[in-house]
Structure 1
Amino acid sequence: MLITIGRDCLKRNNFINGAFIATLGIVVCKILGLVYVIPLYKIIGSQGGALYSYAYSIYAVFLNLSTAGIPTAISKIVSEYNALHQEKLQKRAFDIASKLLNIVGILSFIILFIFSDYFAHLIIGGTEGGNSVADVSIAIKIVSLALLVVPKLSILRGYFQGNKFITYSSVSTVIEQLVRVLLIIVGSYVSVKVFHLPINIAVYISILAATIGALASYLYLKFKIKRNKQEFEIQEINNEHVIDNKKLLKKILLYALPFVLISLLRSAYSVVDTFTVVKTLTSLGYTTDVAETTIGVFNTWGSKLNMIVVSISLGLITSLIPEITGSYAKKEFKNINYKINQSIKVLLFTTIPMAIGISLLASPIWTIFYGYDVVSVNIFSIYILQVIIYSLYITLINAVQAMNETKISLGVLCISFLLKVALNIPIMRFLYYINIDAYYGPAVTNAIVEFLSVMIILIVLKKKYNFKYKELFTPLLKIIVCLTVMLSVLWGLKYIYYSFNGIVQSVITIILFTIVGGLIYMLLSFRLKLINDIFGSNFFDKIRQKFSRKNKN
């Protein structure tokens, strides 16, 4: 049974530190997730890749059902009760949520394991050649094992995050991904290249890696708890509220529901593209190959690369939700305004140069991961820019939800979804009409819809809570100056060296442009004191103090 985590041995993270650590962890995981794909697909091929994706597609559905926003809800509840010094209540809330997710996880595992043949038939039907129903069924059975571990792990992470122990939650995420990737690469290589086993065995090992990675991560967090056992005592507080388990369960579910709906409505964007892009492009005269390439970039291949930039907002959200929840419980609205503004400044400072830099390097980046394709590169170079707005969008949506403003978050999400449905086809047709390739349409639609959503949230918060945003203008102006100089230099460098004829040349191009662009941007940021505007004038003093403490120890 988990109880309040001690404050001496386990170190809590403040907002910026927590956001930085969470972001770093997510970025590392996303990079690992991208890197392993290259050797894996060389080993297992397209047929093995299809078998791998069959298992994961059905697993993803059941995983969402098994977690369903409850870990985020626990992070929010724990932070709220911590702010109100209701330690017994946050412990009970964790216990109830753990039992609930354990039951749902076990039931999901049983359903997926027992009915694996049925799901396999649904996926491939009576197709001949390639993977058999038996192959897919075994893959589903193996991946179902993860449902016995991942729900336990996710609720534990939510508890750590709610207590502002972001470091340990992030380390557990990296451990999970690292163990998984190592098992996938080593296991698949040894089984096929050394023991000359069938490809499907390599796929089964790769799928099993998800369970083993999750188990390693779970054991790490349990070890951290056990090691600090003496710090887990709960102090008796006489004036704690008395809430029965039924009401606590109801609160958990009510907190979880909006996060589930947020996730579903965000996922619905890709569904809109799935149903509209191919039909619209082919009706405009594009070939089926171009149309399917377009949907592949938006829904799969481009999205994977975009997640490197999106990771920054995901890291901020991990730290922001418990921070805002705690401040909201104490009615500290000025503090919430400050943290939201700080989040926006960090996002603008990081995502704008990253997205623009990746757009500039779209050709060599795409060549390394997927092989050069002119249509894919063209789409991706625009699609990555939309991530700037998307990062602000998802951060603000989660921020208002942490303030219990469910009506605002769901209202904005519904409006954005309806606008996406209404504008997706017309914008593709409009671009075609003005002689711009229509396959840019979904990215343009997303940018417009998400920008409007961001403005709505900022205006509503200003009217309802008197939030102020004046402090954002000076950093934004400085960012534009830094970017202008950086891009001018990189554009000139492009005429000296810019090659993507193969992986080696592409890597050289990326390294060269990243070093030059990064140095220029950071040097100008220091020169214009942009770093001070975003992280505070004593930011580097704090870093020096931390290093000096470590050296003394």
Structure 2
Amino acid sequence: MSDNKLVRGTMLLTGATFTSRFLGLIYILPFTMLVGQQGNALYQYGYLPYSILLSLATLGVPMAVSKFVSKYNALDDYVTGQRLFRSGVIFMTITGFIAFLVLFIMAPTVAGWVLPAGDSSGNSHSDVVFTIRMVSIALLIMPGMAVFRGYFQGFHSMGPTAASQVIEQFARILFILVTAYFVLQVFGGSIGLAVGLATFGAFIGGLGSLLVLFYFWKKRKAGIQKQIRESKKDYQLPLSSMYKELIAYALPLSLVGLAIPLFQAIDLFTFNDAMTEGYGANAGQAETAFGAFSRTTHALIMIPVALATAMSVNLIPSITKANTNRDLESMHGLITKSFQIILFFTIPAAFGLAILAIPAFASLYGLEDLEIGGMILSYYAPAAILFSIFAVTAAILQGMNRQKYAVIGLCIGLFFKLVLNYWLISSFGAVGGIVATIIGYTLAIGFNIWAVGKFAAYQYMQIGKHAAIILGITAVMAVSVYIVREGGMVVFDTTGQFGFVVILAFGVLIGVLLYFILSIRAGVAEKVLGNRFSFTKPRR
């Protein structure tokens, strides 16, 4: 796969993922106005266990199927991938049903784990149970849908995944907002009822996504069938061998795909107790901080991570093909291009968001919880860089059939997150949870980078120079954005939301323009995005 194809495929998925994340960010504003930060916390109490069960139910299937199909397609055997696809849809539907039963039945137990004991200032046990059970219904269709996405990706076709992601998010968000509004504003229902019913939007979104994938399947079925008929080989693998190979891919992929949910799960089960018992907050204060930490600010920092998510999906089949063909030169080129793109976009985005944390939070979520939300966002924003680098390094290892090293790296990070989390939150409040996450991810990334360098015989010197230039440009941009922010706080009225919106707009505009101008002049943009910027380089 050429660099241009990698960029095109990545940008297609990035556009879809950015759109999905942007929609997911924007809707939180009216949703927060309806249900508040404690309502956001309640939403997370249901959604985080669902995310974990979904990942376990799908077992990393989209990327595993993508890797499997890409491998056999590269060997001119299209029949094997087709057989896996057909049986996989049935198998994953069964695992989804099992996951639904587990989460639905275990809801009362999970609710007891996450709520502070003996404190009535937060959400009720029954509300958490209802929320978990409503979101669990989506598990009936999501795993089967994952097979469709993985199959298309195995053909290096990212359009179906991109379109289905956007439709899924749009349908989910529309249902969430309409449901919450009608329950609270029209029928005068409780926040617990509104949030619980809103989580059913996960099922509605999945249904919309599945319809889109069916459309693409019908449209492309004839072309795929032609490739299958013209296959030069048929390894005639029995289903047992196919699934053994798939599971060997999928289990590590599943665990790595669970990285962020598992880190958040540690917070889910320790945050409230650490805040109430160690830090001295009441349940309401703890849930407000948890809602800001795990949902509202997390949604913001995940926008820069969208690029890494798209890159990971695109990288695995590409690295797999290069690895299967033993094309080390192509593999090195893919690794270099991936790091260049990730660092170019995520470093300035993360630091810019950290500096503009207060106006960003105020603009999107209002002034009610600005102090805690702005503070959390300012500390949490740099974690976007770590999330991105981990996703890309893990994808590279997976494409090289070194999945176990990505899992080892993740386990190292989770171990330190688990060990440090309660103590740091008890000592420093919500910031302690952020620090524990950053420490865990840093250690995981360090291990992954070592493994990529060792098993791909990859030298990081070129990337190091690239990163140093980006950091220098980002530092100049950060100082400028800081000056704009401080000046705006003096000039504009910050007693209302509009003043923060203006400050945010000016800060983003200045930061983006300055960064791209400097990166173009330094030649960094040309390396990442191609020679379309070469005319701006200084003449010698």
TM over 0.5: yes
Is 2:219 aligned against 1:222?
no
Distance 1:82 1:292, change over 3 A: same
**Counterpart amino acid of residue 206 in structure 2:** A
**CA shift digits 1:243-275 (9 cap, x unpaired):** 111110111112111122324565443455567
Q: Does 1:237 align with 2:248?
A: no
| Corresponding residue SS for 2:199 | helix
Q: 2:334 aligns with which of 339, 343, 349?
A: 339
- In the alignment, is the contact (CA less than 8 A) between 2:41 and 2:290 conserved in 1? no
Give 1:102's aligned residue. 93
Figure out how many residues of one structure are paired with residues of the other and give that number: 523
Q: Does 1:507 align with 2:501?
A: yes
Match of 1:181 among 136, 150, 173: 173
8 Å CA contact retained: 2:35, 2:191: yes
Over residues 274-330 of structure 1, what are the superposed CA-to-partner deviations in whole Å (9 max), with x where a residue is unaligned?
677677778987656887766555444432222112222111111111111111111
Give 1:143 shift. 3.6
Equivalent residues of 2:107, 2:133 under 8 A apart: no
1:78 aligned partner: 69
Is residue 117–residue 133 contact of structure 1 (8 Å, CA) maintained in 2?
no
Describe the superposition over 1:428-475 as per-residue Cα deviations: whole angstroms up to 9, x where unpaired: 89xx8xxxx676444444444433443433333333332122322443
AA at the equivalent of 1:230: A
- In 2, the alpha carbon distance for the partners of 1:512 and 1:443 equals 28
**1:294/1:376 contact within 8 Å kept:** yes
Residue 369 of structure 1 aligns with an amino acid whose one-letter code is Y
Aligned ranges 1:126-137 → 2 under 5 Å: none
Paired residues of 1:96 and 1:249 also in contact (CA < 8 A): no
CA distance in 2, matches of 1:118, 1:517: 48
Letter in 1 for 2:381: I
The letter of the residue matching 1:379 is: I
Q: Which moved more, 1:291-300 or 1:140-149?
A: 291-300
Q: Distance in 1 between matches of 2:351 and 2:413?
A: 24
The 2-side partners of 1:56 and 1:425 are apart by 22
Determine the structure 2 residue equivalent to 1:399: 396
| Counterpart in the other structure of 2:538 | none
**More displaced, 139-148 or 174-183?**
139-148
- Of 296, 315, 323, the residue aligned with 1:320 is 315
Question: Does structure 1 residue 486 correspond to structure 2 residue 477?
Answer: yes
Structure 2 SS opposite 1:497:
helix
1:40-439 correspondence runs (5 A)? 40-43=31-34, 52=43, 55-57=46-48, 59-109=50-100, 115=105, 142-190=134-182, 192-194=184-186, 202-203=194-195, 206-233=198-225, 234-264=228-258, 267-273=261-267, 297-367=292-362, 368-369=364-365, 371=367, 372-421=369-418
Contact 1:23 1:315 in 2 (8 A): yes
Deviates further, 295-304 or 332-341 = 295-304
Gaps (5+ residues) in structure 2?
536-540
Which residue number corresponds to residue 510 of structure 2?
516
Cα distance, 1:382 vs structure 2: 2.0
1:112 Cα deviation after fit: 5.6
Q: Which moved more, 1:149-158 or 1:463-472?
A: 463-472
Per the alignment, do residues 21 and 203 of structure 1 end up closer, same or farther by CA in structure 2, a change over 3 Å counting? same
> Corresponding residue for 1:8?
none
Determine if contact 1:364/1:509 at 8 Å carries over to the other structure: yes
CA displacement at 1:76 relative to structure 2: 1.2
User: TM-score under structure 2 normalisation?
Assistant: 0.84
| Kept in 2: contact 1:334–1:467 (CA 8 A) | no
Q: Give 1:97's aligned amino acid.
A: G
Pair 142,337 (structure 1): closer, same or farther in 2 beyond 3 Å:
same
Q: Does 1:469 align with 2:471?
A: no
Secondary structure of 1:36's partner? Answer: helix
1:285 and 1:54 map into 2 onto residues whose CA distance is: 21
2:60–2:250: 8 Å Cα contact kept in structure 1? yes
Helix, strand or coil for the counterpart of 2:353? helix
Amino acid aligned to 2:19: V
Output the amino acid matched with 2:169. Q
The answer to whether the Cα contact below 8 Å between 1:390 and 1:447 also exists between their aligned partners in 2 is no
- 1:137 and 1:278 map into 2 onto residues whose CA distance is 17
Cα offset, 1:79, TM superposition: 1.4
Q: Which amino acid aligns with 2:343?
A: L
Q: Which moved more, 1:201-210 or 1:116-125?
A: 116-125
Instruction: Please give the secondary structure, in 2, of the residue aligned with 1:14.
Output: helix
For structure 1, list consecutive stretches of 5 or more residues without a partner in the other structure.
1-11, 542-553
Tell me, yes or no, if the aligned pair for 1:497 and 1:509 is still in contact at 8 Å.
yes
Distance in 1 between residues matched to 2:266 and 2:193, nearest whole Å: 36
Q: Distance in 1 between matches of 2:196 and 2:413?
A: 40
Question: Is the CA contact 2:31–2:180 (under 8 Å) kept in the aligned structure 1?
Answer: yes
Q: Provide the rounded CA distance (Å) in 1 between the counterparts of 2:384 and 2:52.
A: 25
1:530 Cα offset (Å): 1.4
Equivalent pair of 1:416/1:450 in contact (CA under 8 Å): yes
The answer to which of 76-85 and 120-129 deviates more is: 120-129
CA distance in 2, matches of 1:507, 1:482: 25
What is the alpha-carbon distance in structure 2 between the residues aligned to residue 282 and residue 141 of structure 1? 27
With the length of structure 1 as denominator, give the TM-score of the two structures. 0.82
User: What amino acid does structure 1 have at the position aligned with 2:331?
Assistant: I
Could you tell me how far 1:350 is from its partner in structure 2?
0.7
Q: Which amino acid aligns with 2:28?
A: V
In structure 2, how many angstroms separate the alpha carbons of the residues matched to 1:28 and 1:364?
22
Distance 1:287 1:493 in 2: 35
Instruction: Give SS of 2:531's match.
Output: coil
CA distance in 2, matches of 1:27, 1:370: 23
Contact 1:428 1:439 in 2 (8 A): yes
Shift of 1:518: 0.6
Equivalent residue letter for 1:530: V
Q: Distance in 1 between matches of 2:269 and 2:39?
A: 27
CA deviations over 1:33-72 (Å, ceiling 9, x no partner): 2222232344456787676555545544542332121222
Q: Which amino acid aligns with 1:169?
A: T
What is the root-mean-square deviation of aligned Cα atoms in Å?
A: 3.8
Q: Percent identity?
A: 29
Could you tell me how far 1:504 is from its partner in structure 2? Answer: 1.2
For the 8 Å contact 1:116–1:140, the answer to whether it is kept is no
